[in-house]
Amino acid sequence: MTTKLTSSAADHVNGERLLDLFLELAKLNAPSGEEQLVADYLKKALPDLGFTLEFDEAHKNFDGEVGNLIAWHEGTDSAIPPLFFSTHMDTVLPTEGLKPVIKDGVIHSDGTTILGADDRAALAAYLEAIRAIVEGGIPHGPIEFILTVNEQPGLVGARYMDYSKAKSKTGYIFDSSGDVGQIILKGPYSSRIWMEVEGNAAHIALNAEEGNSAFLLAADGLTKMKLGTIDDETLANIGIIKGGELTSIIPGSVTVAGEVRSFSKDKLDAQLEHMGNVMKEAAAKKGGKVSIKIEKKYSGFNIPTEDILVKTAETAAQNIQVRSYLTETLGGADTNVLNENGLTCLTLGLGFQNIHSFRECISVENLVNTGRLTAALIEQWYLNHKED
């Protein structure tokens, strides 16, 4: 495998231009399901960079404004296997009225909105990297952008994507809080569990003796349920308890919902079974019953350390003088769904912090290094395959 000491592609990345582009994209108000503003921006920007593009109709499954965007750049050498870069176009909350503040080399909002670095920083970096590659005359193979919608509520756009439109089979997704150089090889399986606990409703004054509180049935089950960190591979949580009608009515039903994540599918299934059985047993002892529904969120992935995606990322990081390190995460990303649908990819860090909050921020250094690493990845991918 060809190793370089520097990346000429990364040298063409213009940090000031990238910063300006990120701030421009961050101000586009496009929360989940309402990504039309970003799509309209890309309809103009991508053809200027040599891309052809098309949208799928994933949004029709969840009443969104626009579908996933798949964009194709021929590159300079069609003999090189195509490489994709993916990110999502939505933010978790609106960015309307965003006022960015840069202090001590870190970009924040003014505290009244999120920043939207998750994941507009990646999108800006991809665009700047391609511009740098083209301007620098850097030889490269075909490049594809897979830009999803409605990611934040649970990778929804990727789940409904028309994968027949994707031409590439391998790629990267910058979507993690680790500094640039983080390489995530392993992601979790995840499922939700919905438990409908049924007792018997009654009025506290008129027929209380007929009541059987579903709340108390559920509480008994929850106190016996293993939750939190189950082991070093598995997490479990109860996040929703919903029910009741009036303060004078002994509740006859309650919805209890949770989520399990694990690197092991067997452990995931075992924990879900445990949660359901414990709740059923607790309810049955006091004359109640429980119905269970399991909702799959996404499958796990595990990329071997010797995979060319990993080796390319390590060398590209070295070429731009940042430290690379291999890790795993129990957090979910489009990476999970794309891998499940035959697109081999791994997640890379770009250094955003405090996401999904008004304290969200990203350092200018990480933003610029995301652009530089993207350019270096494209260049190194070409060199690795040219040598082959």
The residues assigned a catalytic role are 90, 151
How many other CB atoms are there within 10 angstroms of residue 85's CB atom?
26
Structure-token match 């391609």, residue found:
130
How distant, in Å, are the alpha carbons of 62, 159, 213, 248 from that of 339? 22, 11, 44, 51
Rounded (to 5) percent helix, strand, coil in the chain: 35, 25, 35
CA distance 171 to 103: 33
Quick one: tokens of 90? 């939505």
Amino acid of residue 204: I
H or E stretch including 114? none
E strand residue ranges, 130-233: 143-148, 170-174, 182-187, 189-198, 202-203, 228-231
Report the distance separating Cα 231 and Cα 264, nearest Å: 11
End-to-end CA distance of the chain: 8
Q: How far lies 289's CA from each of 110, 195, 220, 368, in Å? A: 50, 10, 13, 56
Q: Please list the alpha-helical segments (H only) found in 137-264.
A: 156-159, 214-223
CA distance 182 to 368: 15
User: Which residues in 291-314 are b (16+ Cβ under 10 Å) and which e?
Assistant: eeeeeebbbbbebeeeebbbebbb
Overall size of the chain counted in residues: 388
> How far, in Å, CA of 202 to CA of 214, rounded?
11
Q: 């007929």: which residue's tokens?
A: 210
